């Protein structure tokens, strides 16, 4: 269990990145969902001991993380959002180099570990290919391979599927699900589908605050019979946005289709629909910010559904 209590972080420029963050994260895949700039990366860097919080505590089992950072690092696998590689080095050689840095100094042990991870991440057949020729998905799989060196008990991946094509995304998420059967895996993302598809538990963070924590399905069930759908004309869209709690809109056949949150049918023509995590996401954003974010902050996984 990773336990985070009352964590706060303010940067020198005055940005309050973390505001009293408290979370309990068990073994398995845990989704941390939020728009860009929500504080997800700040939280990940703090857990990974790459920066100090202003206050609060982090415990991993019996370990006081902030008091013994080296002990946590020995159990940590980390794939940051921006993971660079040496383009002229082969996957096998660079992973071997990282293995030495992780303390795998015995040649036979290191060879076995590198071979196993290249096979687990489906990179064995291209192990001698230079990393500069890898696709985005292959580089991400190499990134998770280096994160898994040394059999970590805590794995953190920050925005790992952004920019991947659907096939690579599915391959990468399946790999994370497999890893999460044994250890604590934190998946930080702004893609709603990544959390919906994989994570039995999640939290939503906006402007450094945790707005929601628990099981995704419980959050979805709380909106049952409260989400309504209707196709409207483009000319009428702004009026609906002013008079109703419009969660999102997307074009269907060139015509806006809106989702509205309401305790009862808003008006004639609205159809009750089964809610999903996207509806939860937009409702929490609206409640927290009073107005929904602009399209630039919409999760990539629901890019077609734009908030009001």
Enumerate domains of the chain plus CATH numbers. 2-214 (3.40.50.300), 220-302 (no CATH)
Please state the φ and ψ torsions of residue 190, each to the nearest 5 degrees.
Answer: -110, 15
- Distance of alpha carbon 205 from alpha carbon 38, whole angstroms: 6
Judged by average pLDDT, the poorest of 80-84, 112-116, 185-189, 203-207 is 80-84
pLDDT of res. 197 = 81
For the chain, where are the E strands, in sequence order?
2-10, 16-25, 28-33, 55-60, 63-64, 76-79, 154-158, 184-189, 201-206, 209-214, 227-231, 246-252, 255-261, 271-272
pLDDT of res. 307 = 46
Q: Which residues contact 111 (CB under 8 A, 6 or more apart)?
A: 96
Entry pTM: 0.83
Q: Please write the tens of the pLDDT for every residue from 145-155.
A: 999 998 899 99
Tokens 């996957």, located at residue: 91
| pLDDT mean over 218-226 | 94
- Distance of alpha carbon 222 from alpha carbon 224, whole angstroms: 6
pLDDT of res. 289 = 65
N residues, the chain? 308
Please give the distance of CA 115 from its chain centroid, rounded to a whole number.
28
Q: Please write the tens of the pLDDT for every residue from 129-173.
A: 999 999 888 888 898 899 999 889 999 998 888 777 888 888 888
The two beta strands, 227-231 and 271-272, are: antiparallel
Instruction: Put residue 246 in one of left, alpha, beta given phi > 0 → left and psi -120 to 50 → alpha.
Output: beta
pLDDT of res. 167 = 84
pLDDT of res. 84 = 77
Token readout for 303 is 């890019």
The DSSP bridge partners found for residue 212 are 204
Q: Please write the tens of the pLDDT for every residue from 7-41.
A: 999 999 999 999 999 999 999 999 999 988 889 99
């Amino acid at each position: 269990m990773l336990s985070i209590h009352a964590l706060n972080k303010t940067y020198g420029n005055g940005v309050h990145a973390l505001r009293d963050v408290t979370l309990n994260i068990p073994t398995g895949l845990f989704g941390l969902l939020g728009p860009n700039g929500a504080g997800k990366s700040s939280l990940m860097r703090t857990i990974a001991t790459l920066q100090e919080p202003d206050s609060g505590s982090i415990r991993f089992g019996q370990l006081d993380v902030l008091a013994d950072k080296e002990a946590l690092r020995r159990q940590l696998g980390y794939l940051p959002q921006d993971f660079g590689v040496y383009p002229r080095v082969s996957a096998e050689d660079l992973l071997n180099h990282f293995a030495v840095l992780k303390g795998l100094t015995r040649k036979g042990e290191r060879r076995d570990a590198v071979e196993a991870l290249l096979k687990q991440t489906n990179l064995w057949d291209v192990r001698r290919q230079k990393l500069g020729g890898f696709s985005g998905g292959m580089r991400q799989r190499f990134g998770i391979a280096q994160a898994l060196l040394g059999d970590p008990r805590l794995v953190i991946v920050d925005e790992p599927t952004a920019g991947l094509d659907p096939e690579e995304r599915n391959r990468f998420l399946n790999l994370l699900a497999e890893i999460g059967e044994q250890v604590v895996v934190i998946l930080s993302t702004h893609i709603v589908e990544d959390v919906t598809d994989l994570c039995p538990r999640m939290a939503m963070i906006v402007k450094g605050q945790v707005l929601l924590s628990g099981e995704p399905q419980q959050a979805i069930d709380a909106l049952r019979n409260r989400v309504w759908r209707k196709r409207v004309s483009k000319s009428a869209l702004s009026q609906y946005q002013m008079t109703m709690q419009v969660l999102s809109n997307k074009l269907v056949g060139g015509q806006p289709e809106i989702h509205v949150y309401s305790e009862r049918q808003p008006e004639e023509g609205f159809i009750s629909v089964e809610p999903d995590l996207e509806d939860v996401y937009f409702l929490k954003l609206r409640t927290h910010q009073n107005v929904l974010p602009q399209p630039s902050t919409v999760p990539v996984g629901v890019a077609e559904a734009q908030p009001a």
